[in-house]
Amino acid sequence: MAAAQPDIIQAINSPKAFRRFFPGDLSSWESWFAFLRVIYGLELLPGDLELFRACTERGTPAEDGYDVVYLISGRKSGKSTVCGLIAAFTAIFGDWGDDFSILIVAPTIRQAKMVFRSARQMLGYFPGAIKRETGEEIDLKNGGHIFIRTPSYKHIRGENVALAILDEFALFESEGALPADELAVAIEPSLLPGAKMIYSSTAFGKAGPLWDAYEKHWSLDDPELVWRSSTAQMNPTFSTAKIDKAVRSDPARFKAEYLSEFRNDISRLFAEDGQVTRHCTGSESGPRERVNYCAFLDASSGGKDSMALAICHGESGRVHLDLIRENKAPFSDAEKIIDEYADILKRYHISEVLADKHAQAFVWHLFGKRNINVKFHSPSATDLYLFFAGHLRAGDLVLLKDPVLTDQLTHLRRKISSGGGERIDSPAHKLDDVANAAAGAVWHYYQSVDERQPIEGVVVQRHEYPDPEREKEIMAKEEMENLEREMQDYINKTEGGLGIPVQPGREFIPVKHS
C-alpha cells in the first residue's frame, strides 16, 4: 500500500524532502508556515489566527484553504523563496497525472527566474526527479513541466496547469505585459482541479491589476484571498533599522516596498468604480441643423498608434459626444482614412478641426486638399485629461457607450512627482488615442464658447513679450513659419510625392495624390 503524500508543512520538516533547505532553527520562517497552513487548509497553530487577521482583515480562514491568492508582501520578506517552495512541492507531491505544467509568469524573464531558481534548488534534493532542464524549463520524470514565461497568449494557452505563479503582478501593466484581466482569461481554462493561482508582488500605486484585486477582495470572506504583510511581519531577521532609513529617505516608495502600503502618488485618474461608465449613456447621433459641432483629431502616421476622431456639441448645459472613429495601426493608406474623416466632418458642417501636434505636415496638407482647416493648438495631454476629468466629475459630459473609450479612460493613471507636479498617462500596453480624441473635442468645445475667457485647468506656456497683441502676432507668425518649413522639407524629401513617416527618420510609405 502506497504511503500517503505529506502536506507541505510535513514536507518542510522531513529530512528526505525540504528540511535540507531550512537548516537550523525554523522560527524565523513561522509566519510563512502560518501562511502556508492557511492557503492549504491545514490545522492552525497558536498565533496563526492572529497573523491571519492582521494580514487579511478577515475573521477566520476557509477550512479548505484558497486556490486563488494575492500575496502582497514586502521586499526581502521571502515571498520568492516561498513561491519556489510551493512550485517544488506541487511538482513532487501533487497527483496531477502524467502531463502537467507549473507556470511561473512575470513581466520579464529576469524577474521570473528568482522563483524558478528557488524551485530548482529544492528539486535538487530529490535525486532522479529531473529528466531535462534548461535555464528556463525543467522536465520531470513524473510528467511535470516547470517553465517561466512572459505574459503572452502563445506561451500560456494549451497547458494542463497545476500551479500558476504570477510574480511581480503589480508591474504587469507598467512593463507592457498582456493586460491582467486577459491573462487570467487565458490561464483559468487550463487549470486542473485543485490547482492554485498565486499572484505575488510588492505593493505599488493605487492603479493597475494588483490594486484592483486588493479593492475587490481585501477583508472580504470570499474564495479569493488577499494577504498583505510587511517585510518585518514575514521576515523578522531583516534589519528594521534599514527599513526605517529607507522609509525616511523616500516615504512613498519604501512604504510600498517594505510596509506594503499602496502609493498615494500613483493612482487612477478616475478612482471611483463606475465614475466613467455612469456618464457613458449616449448613442452616436448624426448631424442636426443649427447645431455647432466641434471636432478633435488624434493623428497617426500608421506605425503604432491609432488615428482617432471625436465630435461633440453643447446642449442644455452639457457637452454631448456625438461620434468616435478609430483606425488601428498598422495602416499604410492614411490618405484614405483622412478622406473618410473629411467626409464625416463635412456632414457635420465642420470646416475646422483641432488636432494634436503629431505629423503636422501631412495632416495639414491632406485635410487642406479637402477644404478642412487644421489647427494644432492644444494643451499637454496631462492638462487635457485633467480638464476633461473635472467636467466629467461635475456631470457636464454625456459620453458614448463605447467599450474602447470606457476602457482607455478607466486605465488612465495620475502620477505626482516629488515637486508636486502631475502627469497623466496610460499603461505601457494601452493605447489612449480614442480617450485623447474625446478629451480634445470637449476641450475644443469649451474653448470655442468664448476664446477670450481662460479655460480653468489648462496651462498655456507663454513668451514674455511686453505687448499682448504683439505677442499673439509673433507667436502666430512663428508657428506658420515652422509649419511651412516642415511642409517644404517634407515635400523635398519625397521629391514631389507625399511620404507618410511610419517611424520618423526611418521608414516612409508612399501615397499617391493628385
Q: Which three cell numbers stand for residue 7?
A: 502536506
Specify the pLDDT at position 469. Answer: 53
Same domain, 340 and 313: yes
Backbone angles phi, psi at 178, to 5 degrees: -55, 135
Specify the pLDDT at position 478. Answer: 60
Is 117 part of any domain? yes
Domain boundary among 266, 299, 321: 266
Domain boundary among 449, 477, 494: 449
Is 40 part of any domain? no
Same domain, 248 and 287: no
Same domain, 235 and 317: no
For residues 360 and 437, what is the distance between their CA atoms, to the nearest angstrom? 16
Is 52 part of any domain? no
For the chain, how long is the longest CA-to-CA vector? 97
DSSP classification of residue 161 = E
Q: Which residues, in sequence order, are CB contacts of 472 under 8 Å at separation 6+?
A: none
Question: What is the secondary structure of 424-478 as a DSSP string?
Answer: EE--TT---HHHHHHHHHHHHHHHHH-TTSPPTT--------S-HHHHHHHHHHH
Same domain, 262 and 281: no
What total of structural domains would you count in the chain? Answer: 3
Is 400 part of any domain? yes
| Range of weakest confidence among 85-89, 253-257, 265-269, 454-458 | 454-458
Domain boundary among 266, 287, 318: 266
Same domain, 380 and 477: no
Specify the pLDDT at position 511. Answer: 38
Q: Which residues, in sequence order, are CB contacts of 44 under 8 Å at separation 6+?
A: 34, 37, 38, 52, 61
Same domain, 477 and 343: no
pLDDT band at 303 (very low <50, low <70, confident <90, very high): confident
pLDDT band at 273 (very low <50, low <70, confident <90, very high): low
Same domain, 138 and 172: yes
CATH number, domain at 359? 3.30.420.240
Same domain, 109 and 218: yes
Note the pLDDT tens digit of each residue in 395-413: 999 999 999 999 899 888 8
Reply yes or no on whether the pLDDT at 502 is more than 80.
Answer: no
Same domain, 441 and 301: yes
For residues 495 and 62, what is the distance between their CA atoms, to the nearest angstrom? 73
3-state secondary structure of 236: coil
Backbone angles phi, psi at 455, to 5 degrees: -90, 115
Average pLDDT score over the chain: 83
Same domain, 327 and 426: yes
Is 247 part of any domain? yes
Reply yes or no on whether the pLDDT at 154 is more than 70.
Answer: no
Backbone angles phi, psi at 274, to 5 degrees: 85, 0
Among positive and negative, which fits the CA dihedral 159, 161, 163, 169? positive
Q: Which residues, in sequence order, are CB contacts of 452 under 8 Å at separation 6+?
A: none
Same domain, 301 and 434: yes
Give which of 455, 379, 458, 386 is closest to 415, Cα–Cα.
386
Distances (CA, A) of 328 to 89, 363, 436, 504: 46, 17, 14, 18
CATH number, domain at 230? 3.40.50.300
Q: HSE of 454 in the Cβ direction (CA atoms, 13 Å)?
A: 6
For residues 308 and 298, what is the distance between their CA atoms, to the nearest angstrom? 5
Is 421 part of any domain? yes
For residues 278 and 395, what is the distance between their CA atoms, to the nearest angstrom? 10
Same domain, 371 and 422: yes
State the Cα angle at 119 between 208 and 180, rounded to 5°. 15
Note the pLDDT tens digit of each residue in 61-100: 999 999 999 999 999 999 999 999 999 999 999 889 889 9
Is 118 part of any domain? yes
Is 58 part of any domain? no
Residue 134 burial (10 A CB sphere; 0-12, 13-18, 19+): exposed
Domain coverage including residue 484: 468-511
Reply yes or no on whether the pLDDT at 30 is more than 50.
Answer: yes
